[in-house]
Amino acid sequence: MSDIVFRAATADDIPAIVAMLADDHLGAQRESPHDLTPYLSAWRQMQASTDTQQIVGVTEGKVVATMQLTVIPGLSHQGASRLLIEAVRVDGSRRGGGIGTRLIEWAIAYGRGHGCSMVELTTNKSRADAHRFYERLGFEQSHFGYKMRLD
């Protein structure tokens, strides 16, 4: 694998990010890579926040990985901040080459650098490969999560 650089996403990265979000059995049902309007709107909102970043991994001039990072200040755990990692994706043609590991390691360092004392993430119950991946990196399944759609 050639060297990979992780950086904040730009508007030009949105098509590649959305393509990765749509490239699995869950994303294919909920993402619409043919209309980028809502994604660009969301990205602009993220740009206005000091706590949320969309990160991309770029190698050989191509976006091959992405994740959303949000630093959440809180009162629990003696006022600890936590890093929330969401929407982790690696381009399907690049999986298995260590990019995902480097992406999560970069996120953990980002969290430490932003004063976070813990890292949280969620992954769909059907993503067994992702569960093994996160456990291999030291994550523990410590809570049950619930979601409610508001559409």
Fold (topology level) of 5-136: Aminopeptidase (3.40.630)
What CA–CA distance (Å, rounded) separates 106 from 15?
23
Beta strands in 94-134 (DSSP E): 116-121
pLDDT band per the 50, 70, 90 thresholds, residue 74? very high
Look over the chain and give the mean of its residue pLDDT values, rounded to a whole number. Answer: 92
Would you state the pLDDT for residue 2?
Answer: 63
C-alpha distance across the termini of the chain, in Å: 41
pLDDT in tens, 86-118: 999 999 889 889 999 999 999 999 999 999 999
